[in-house]
Amino acid sequence: MKISHFVLLILSAHFLFNCEKEKKTDYTDVIEVFDNTKDAVFDTVSVPQHLRSIVKQISGINTYETGVLGKGQGRSENFENFKKLEKSASDDELVSLLNNKNKTVAVYVSVGLLNRKPELLEEIFQKFLNLTTTIHTQDGCIVGDQNPAEPLYSAYYRSLDLKNVRTDSKLRKLDSLIIFTPNSPESLLQEAFRYRVYSKNYRKRIEELAFKNHSMDAVRYLAHWHKGDYADGIQKELIAMIKNDSFLYNKKMVLSELLSFRNPENKEYILTYLKKDTPFSDDHEILKELEPNGIFPGEYPTK
């Protein structure tokens, strides 16, 4: 962030209008989804006696909380539980908890090991990335379900000085794992393509992500760095999104990307979409690119 790649949700009725959610839902759904205890897994058989109580508490809340508070929230209970666990457990005990069946516990442990066992980061990240299960997460008002690799990536990213993000060797390795692992979350692909220019040996895999898996982040990467080499394929992907109205991303971004090719052959698709979504017809950035695409005043709707 794929944060698959991350999901917005209203936390509760108290701050219904302060937080948003990616998927539209009614008020009843909000309350139901917010109860994350329903699918909690309790696994304390192999947990040391002095850690069992805190592991049960983390498992019971069953949500990975970053410690960032949502509006109206007085404390982050599970983050506080994590800090207690981190303080009470030895390095070896934390490592053993990576195999806990409650993946919220496992993710908290992985974050706790970032400084204590940094050499394990890549192994843990790959293990999480291969999982098909998700965990409940909360970062302020942002609540959703994520692959366990997503919060671990975010925690490591946040631990870095911003000036080192582009050059950090561990983050580069994580980004490589994201690209080459099948079915990586889109939020993580977004992060992997954000700061990188990849060498030629990555090209085949990025092509696959863009044109077979239809990853918008891979398409944008190729459009930014290799536009001339992939012009036809990129335009085909963008047109398919416009024709199907299948925008997982900002609609203006997709339309602007297509307009940037200044190809009159795309005129029909652009006009059809402008007629469906008229607010873009008065957008200055959109308007200035219409004539280079063969679209002239009077051919498109205006407010």
Contacts of 181 (CB under 8 A, 6+ apart): 126, 129, 130
Cβ contacts of 61 within 8 Å, gap of 6 or more:
36, 37, 40, 77, 78, 81, 104
- Coil vs helix vs strand at 37: coil
CA-CA distance, 297 to 89, in Å (whole number)? 69
188-244: pLDDT as tens digits: 999 999 989 999 999 999 999 999 999 999 999 999 999 999 999 999 999 998 888
Q: What pLDDT was estimated at residue 7?
A: 38
pLDDT of 267 > 60? The answer is yes
Strand ranges (DSSP E) for the chain?
63-65, 135-139, 142-146
pLDDT, one tens digit per residue, over 70-122 is: 877 788 999 999 999 999 999 999 999 999 999 999 999 999 999 999 999 99
Tell me the percentage of the chain whose pLDDT exceeds 90: 73
State the pLDDT at residue 72.
77
Give the whole-angstrom CA distance, residue 206 versus residue 167. 21
| Residue 243: predicted pLDDT | 84
